[in-house]
Structure 1
Amino acid sequence: MARLRLLLGTSFLAVVIFTALSHGLPCTLVYEQQEYDLSSLSAVDHWQVKMTNATGNDTVIYLSVCHPLRNVPRGCSGNDTGACIAKVSSENNVEVTVPNAGRVTSDGLSLHGQLVEYVMGGGDSCPEGGNIYRTFINFICTQTPEEETGPVLMSLTRCQILIAWMTRSACPRRLDVVTDTQCSIQFPSSHHKLHLQTLRAEKFYSASSVQPNAEYEINICGPVMNGSCNRKDVAVCHHPEGRSPEVMATTQNMNVMWGEHETLILTYQASDQGKNVEVIFMCDLSTAKTEVNYMSQNDTTVSFGAQTSAVCPPSANPSCVLKDHVGNVYDLRPLHRQQDNWEVLRSTSDGQEILYYLNICGPVNPGRHFTCPPGLIGACMAGISEHSAYNLGLLNSEPTINVEEDSITIMYNGGEPCKGGQHSYSTRINLICSPDEHGPVLVKETETCEHVFDWLTPVACPRHLNIGSDCRVEDPLYGNVYDLNPLRNIHKDYRVTGEGDEFFINLCGPLVSSCDGQNGTSGVCQISNGQQINAGLSTSQVTFNDGTLIIKYTNGTSGCQANNTRSSQIIFLCDHEVSGRDGPKHFRQNGCSNVFFWKTKYACPSFHVVDCTLYTADGTMYNLQELSSSSSNLEYYTADDKKFILNVCRSVVHQKGSRCAYRAGACIVDRTYHNNSVNIGEVQSGLYLEDGRLMIRYARGDQCVGHERSYQTLIELKCDKDETYPIPQLISEENCTYYFEIKSAAACPVSMKNNTMPLVGKDCAVTSPSGYVFNLSSLKRETDYEIKNQNVTMTLNVCGALNNPECPGEGVGICSKDVNAGQANANLYYLPGHLSLHYTGGEQCHGIINRSTIITFVCGAENVTEGPVLVFDDKYSCIYFITWYTELACEKRISCFVDTWTHRIDLSPLIKSVDNYETVNPENPKEKFYLNVCRPLNPIVGLNCRPGSAVCLSKPGLQGNNPLSLGHPNIIPVSDNEGANIMYVHGAKCTTEPDYNLSSMIHFICDPSAGKGKPVFKEVTHDCQYQFEWRTSVACDILFKEEDSGPQCQIRYDQAKANIDLKPLYRPEGYHVQFRSKTFTVNVCGPACNNSDLL
């Protein structure tokens, strides 16, 4: 008996030979379930290998496989000759030189490594050293016909012939392949097959029903083992209450078919005229353990249901980023192999070695020497061909997080059938948290053909996780301590609505109000259908997880969905400009748990912001405030899985996946290595121009690798009026400097010179330069508008003629009594800050000109009275000026507050919707200024200030008593060391610098004793800007902690220049006062009557 050595993986196995006789019997080798079949090669009478020498004569070697030579030249002697050597002259004369170069024997075939070796020994005597001729043929497996070679002479020395032969016949073929069973079915729209026996239990699944009261033992695609019914082929055993167990179904008649909505139905035919049994399987990628549950029954069928990943179609892109119930994120992508695979070598007790291929987050890849079966396979037992490899499971489930065990389980189900079709191969990979990477290790193979691997890896560890108390938690990477206590409201709970329910929430302590009849326990109270539900007990424990703060409220009201308790989770999101005093927003309700998002500055570490506007000497302004995001970042990805994160004029916003150094304006996150970040530049200064290019520089980053200098980033901001969504582009990296380019409409310059021409639209509409369409057609109406101002009464319409018969002529748009003040039209004009209609061609005035009217439409303050106002009658030029405040003229209003890390300056209390602020020039009291804050001036009857202006100057000598506009409110306020500044631009033409427009700047200075204060004129600068100073308590630091801790319960004591805090007078029970046989309950700085809003 010869021995054949077979490499399965990298192992040598003994094989048994079927002797190939001279009559050409099958030439096959079999060991266990592997077969090598050379029969296709033995069917040929002989093969030839030819060599040409220098004389022009050929040497030909005649070969046969598994039988003696047939149809060869005379002289190739013997009935068992398998190789013969002859010379062939140029005239085709054949001379046999070695009649027998090797004999066919019963032990000629063996396997060495990956080679099937065929040895023919016992040939003729060799003149060299008394040896005999022998021939060795090495058959090499190849998968493709193009690589097949036929026999190739490798050497002929010392009477030994060595032949190499690449052929598909040398590839092994498995004999244990089971392609179909009663429990196999094709996936819809997929070439993969589903083998349901992967769910067969070692014993059985248990299920129970209430109506009727019964217990069931059931197995999938196999019999119940060691069950209550004493029969070997029982598939379902029914045990009614008070009765003996009975066989409901057997394994004799099984059927598998696809149902509706991608469900799979396994049917067992009834036993003894009973009811059929069906098990309905529903795809659930996240199910780690399959359970069978009783569903229902009717006169003919008992139905069970099971949620399982085994019936889910395989996916090429399975989930690889996971989140557990407390918000920890696990990223398995670093374990994915795009080339090669993870390899595990197993040594068996009989000395063989088996090679396993594994991959994570994708299918296994073809190997260089060994391979797997084709398809979306997560693991395989590799072979030297796909026909000799084993499919150990498909990519058809999601990883499962085992929080208590610090591990993650990945299941690959539905491999090919094993053990004669009784079970199906599957793979279980346990990723176990470890500080070091160790790779996978096979720990066991179960009786149900499941291969279990353990894998110690840091990928299974939650990154940057820390749990704090007292509503504080420390960032374990950078050391910042987050404190959420300022968000605690001691007077009133936060009210939130979502999905039809109402929620009351508080932080860092229990609810102020009671919930479900209990005080001092709940942190979240849910009101659903009028019923109060404890949605989680109060807690002061805060979890920091990779840049995100999370508070989890657990152990709420029980009895939710069987025996579960209610819970809630708040995820805090960093926003540099949001205090959080408005409370959280409801995100979703998932079963018994509610999730809330809460944007707040308290979820941010310290950050740095610089001014994002630039004014040049030639009257150009750049304003990139809209690119400076307080809640998100700009991102750029590279092919090697690196992510660049940038912000404009401010630090990168800290969040998951964007954990950069606190002052970094740009950083790199390496997503292939645990999201480690590199600071490539800190925010230090604002915008600047270099050779006409708008730039911003972030410097003093981390130490540049291999250099003494630090990283820095240069960003060029290019004007592109069509670019709505700016995306950074990496241009180059040179000498530790990264060069980026951002195209945006926000980077386009705005000229402050006096060169603005109006835009004109038709049909009562006009489009602004930003693309916004103003449409005033809704103001046109059948009944005319009437204006009364002192002794003047006027009638007008918008974009159409009057309907008043007392106004003479056709097409009149406005008249005063019976005087035509202008013909109507619908040509709407746009200028920054206002819209206007020009009605011209009215009655003659002074005998030389016609009367006209200019109606300007202005976006005023939020509560301004809308409608037309006659503000000026220019009797010299016969023009009526009408101002009309309307929301239809609003494209956007600027925000009126400034946020820094420590405080907010909110200037909105200074906005006036009636009248205006007034001040004079101390050096020339006849120069009078009219001002508003963040909004246009309100109408000033008798003064024709340019509509939409926020500041106007009236002084003697101005033509037509027209005051000068000192600018419009287009730019948000910014902070400075003393308070805040706001600038108004696009004013009137500057008389001393004709190429410039007038502008104004108000410096708000914190003064706690000033109250609201008032503006004071200071000076006019060389570039035509009027400077004002405004001392006010509004500009003082308003700490968020004070804002969010309830009502500001203070009174002002001017003599002491201090605020007196009355909060110490607050009593939870209030104060009881007797008056005329009645008892009144009052309180200070808080509610008095059952937590109402009454004080």
Structure 2
Amino acid sequence: MLPIMPQKENDMACRRPFRVSSASGGRLSIGLIVVTLMLMVTGAQSKLLVNGTDCTIREPLYNVTFDFNALSSDLNHHVTSEETNERFFFNVCDKEQSGKDNRTEPLAYLVRQDKKITLGYEAHLQLDNGRMQFSFLGEPCGNGSNYTLDIILLCSYERTPADLRVIPHTPDQCRYFIFWDTPLACQPLPTALVDNRCTVRDGTNRHLYNLLPLGGANHEVPLPDGGRFVVSVCKPVRYGHLTMCPPGTGVCLINGTDYRDYGQAVAEPKIDSNGRLVMEMRSKSEACQNSLIVFECGAEDGIETGPIYRGRKDNCTHEFVWRTTLACRDTRPCSVSNPITGTQYDLSLLANRTYTLTSRDNRTYELGVCRIPASSHCPLDAGACEVTAKQSVGLGAISAELQYETTGAPYLLYRSGAVCDANSGRRWETRLEFICETDPVEGGRTGTVVPPIVVENGECQLVVHFETVLVCEPALMACGAYNESTIDQYVDLSPLMDSTQNYVARSEGDQGRRYFLNVCRPLVPQYGLSCRGGAAACEATFDGVTARNETTLGFPDVSLVVAGNTVLMKYLRGDPCPQDPLTNLSTTVAFHCQATAGQGQPALVEIEHGCHYRFDWATAVICPPELIVPFEQSNCTFHNPSTATWMGMKGVLDELSLCDKQPVASIDYRTGSLTIRYTEPDTINCSSMNGVKTYNVTVACAPDRPLERTASTSCFEIIKKQSPTVCALVGRNATIHDDSVPTNPTKSPAHSTTHPTTVPTVTSTEPIGTKVQPEGAGLGAFGIVMICLTAVTTLSVGTLYIVRRHPDRCHQLHSILLCRGSFWVINDFPSTTYSRVDNSETSSLLLNPSNVLSDSDDDMLI
């Protein structure tokens, strides 16, 4: 028995006996050989205990099989205890090795104060009165006991379950529990409840009731006779410890060990004939035992206490009343709650202003958020309009009803604008999507109002993306994690976050498709890319000019997983998968350390079953630092063997006379910088520091800037320098662009197949920057001068010979040298030059109408 239980499990119920009721429809059969069923009767308690095999377990009451093989990971799962800061690493369902005799490394272990403690070599799966868990037995802990770890599997219908949670049980911290929310611990969902939104509009069709936030947990209603109702709305009752209700049940009566269906869960609420917001649930197994839940507005603080049992309305219906703010009709204008997190968004600070936008095709628009000033050029009651020199065309009526879907971003929808298509009578409408504004620069968000961006303005719809901190969750996706292999190393991907442009992934598949990604944040809004607001990965078809048919591949709301030199970033909750409508598209990006890759670029490697997109990303950002970088004093250069590059210090730090010193240097790939430390004797001012003054110099890969001296004292000085010369040495691109100038890239969707689609791995062979040889290793100044003189002399003699022997060719030679001849005219554009640019600039060029490229040019740039 677990002394510590989740809040939703009733401790008093732990002492009730178990009984299989005839009404439950459960049957015990001899055929259940894959599990061992034991009814252990001890006095007043009957216990149902089922052992699993091959990481599956069959529940005997309803003959439901739970399969947990998907919980296995190539990388260990990792969780940190908030109370003790201990870190746990474990894996389950590992079929490569089983048992301590065959395994050299433990399957579960604990890191406590840099000490590794074995928690177990094998995971035992059990079902104990509805509680499913993996149990580990570890090394001795003291007092004759052993370390133990129990991983409790809790049913969660969320596609993005909560993080793992650690609870130490015993005071000596020998026994631990980890709670793991997973859909695999749930009974199968009825089809209608898989992607239901649990919403309904009122009779006027003006207000949308959204009850989905109430469906996040079971709600218990105690009864005077010791029994209890367990109620769940929008989703069925979650199967769990002493809550073994029949599949699909929305209202379950539990009396001792008797579990009865008093109403099947329904997908949506409805408005009844009396105008009430209700849910009617009918039982599948109990005759005349149905339930009715009436939702009433409870706007007062503290009124939301869950369902209350009113008794039987008639002989067949049990009635509950549930007071909640979600049932209130008169909500604040320009505000909405996130149905997943419950966070309230209020955009009234953005209201009553006129925002003027210009699209990429040079059209001018004005719009307002919830309210628009009378000074706007828009027609009366319009929330958005296109403005020309002569008139303005309304693109939708103003509305203060901020909406939020279960996936996507908060949005305003302005309908019934001017007629767009005279033949069909279709009218213009405007969709204004609000996206969390993030700033990758250290110091956090800017808090400034980012100008809205037009992303679509065709087919009778204007789509605008608006970045604002007003729709940010309190805790954004963590963009770093501890490295499991190197216990105290923290891997940080935040240098790859880009608030000015998106990454375009390389792909050797369908060249008519583009894949857009950003790191730990939503995609940057850009013209022509209209994936759902807040998405971090997007696919679109590309016709050489613009992107179309956008598909959302996931949102940035899952923490990173780190093991060794690999970092996994997952984006979930994408659009429904065409191959399996019950599954949503998702994305996994695997970051690998490659010191010569610079920031790198994602590459599509596989589309699994048409539903899951896998990208590889080689980058220097996650590489461990180079602690010792050799310095060659004879030619004043640093050498990095990992990038096979040299950096000459002459002309970079001349003010410091570094070539005469004995510096010690290291490289930080995350920041793209070289840190140099050296000392100088100073017996007068630094007698207390052994007579030396210490210098700490950081040279960062960035546009050239002069030395900056900070935090200087008489015996210690910090110096900062920016220079592109160091870029190749630290594994960064030598071409430095100005990040303050936003650019807009392109997009790309994907074909779904019933079998995994394998895309050949794309490996960049281009050098990151110029590899500088040490001084003295080349020809020398004298040799270079002699070669130049020889070349000039030869050319002059040859030209004189042609002129004297062939006067007729003199004019032709003159034309060629002036680039006016017929030999070098390419594609009728004699002044056009082509050059390869940095990958981040490529994205901008592909969508920029002012630089229309041919297909061959497009391929070259990508």
TM-score interval, smaller chain: 0.3 to 0.5
Normalised TM-score (structure 2):
0.42
The higher relative CO (CA closer than 8 Å, separation ≥ 6) is in: 2
